[in-house]
Amino acid sequence: MRKIAFVFPGQGSQAVGMGKELAENHSSVMDYFKRADEKLNIPLSKLIFEGPKEELTITFNTQPALLTTSIAILDYFQKSGLNVDYVAGHSLGEYTALVAAGTFSFEEGVYAVRKRGEFMENAVPNGEGSMAAVLGLDRERLAEVTNEVSESGNPVSLANLNCPGQIVISGSRKGVEIAGVKAKEAGAKRALPLDVSGPFHSALMRPAADQLREVLDGIEMKDASVPVIANVTAEPITSASEIKDKLIEQLYSPVLWEDSVRKMIELGVDTFIEIGPGKVLSGLIKKIDKTVTTFSVSDEASAQSVIDALKEEKI
């Protein structure tokens, strides 16, 4: 028997029109988009289906848009009756995973990530923080570089440990720039600035974390029905109180994605199904371990092909 993990994408995977075809063909899928509109009291579904792209990529729009689309796709896909052993998500995707595991209701998840996006957007004045992807340098050496730059008064730290040779750094604009130069001097192939609106997953997000705690304190959270691999620790958790603490820490701590995937493999997972727009996580997982099976489910055709492939194996 295969051991299966559902994984959910974070910011960067959004695209205008995501989920539209599935929603138009299935009223149960469209219902999620309508419920998100009602909960947030904004025409989120119109923005997802029609754009404009510039508005969709604003953090506080992107986050509820991705969660809504991924959960709507999941609902359609789960009609296949497939059992899942673990769930995980990259940054924002962790909230989608928690909705999938029953920790939040869908409406509470949409509301939480809308507020999370607002807090992240406002935590640091525009233009003062940034992020960059560093390619081809191991985490220990890159951590030495960021520590050295931070000690000089320009805060920067590791933010997303995505896969071997791909790590995102985050912090003050100057800190990220200096660290990028020093990383290349230390042997990195490239340091690519990212088109983001703030220094996410860095210590500069602590003000947002304090605000997020207030929101999560006001939301009913249940223990997860399926173990969730936490971004902050790369360990499985199910307790609602522990999940809340880890979500707050997640705002200013690195996303340990490579470690999370390795943990799931260690726990016996051999099949990863990415649910939501894009194939970013499937690509990262293959770079972490080529031997595992990955699938991406983003629309009706891809959902059916995965269901057919797994049925052939009589899972």
DSSP per residue over 54-105, as a string? HHHTSHHHHHHHHHHHHHHHHHHHGGG----SEEEESTTHHHHHHHHTTSS-
Where do the domains of the chain lie?
A: 4-123+204-312, 129-196
Per-residue confidence (pLDDT) for residue 315, from 0 to 100: 52
Average pLDDT over residues 66-84: 94
Using CA atoms, how far residue 20 sits from 17, 23, 107, 211, 300, in Å, is 5, 5, 20, 33, 10
Tell me the per-residue pLDDT of 165-217, one tens digit each, with 9 for 90 and over: 999 999 999 999 999 999 999 999 999 999 888 899 999 999 999 999 999 99
Q: Can you tell me the distance from the alpha carbon of 58 to that of 301, in angstroms, rounded to the nearest whole number?
A: 29
Is the pTM above the cut of 0.75? yes
Task: List the catalytic residues.
Answer: 91, 201
End-to-end CA distance of the chain: 6
Average pLDDT over residues 279-308: 96
- CATH class as words, domain 4-123+204-312: alpha beta
With 80 as the cut, is the pLDDT of residue 313 above it?
Answer: no
How confident is the prediction for the chain on average, in pLDDT? 96
Type of residue at 211:
Q
Architecture of domain 129-196: 2-Layer Sandwich (3.30)
pLDDT band at 262 (very low <50, low <70, confident <90, very high): very high
pLDDT band at 126 (very low <50, low <70, confident <90, very high): confident
Tell me the per-residue pLDDT of 221-242, one tens digit each, with 9 for 90 and over: 999 999 999 999 999 999 999 9
Query: Buried b vs exposed e over 175-208: b needs ≥16 C-beta within 10 Å?
Result: bbbbbbebbbebebeebeebebbbbbbbebbeeb
3-state secondary structure 130-152: EEEEEECCCHHHHHHHHHHHHHC
Closest CA to 227 of 204, 260, 182, 251: 260
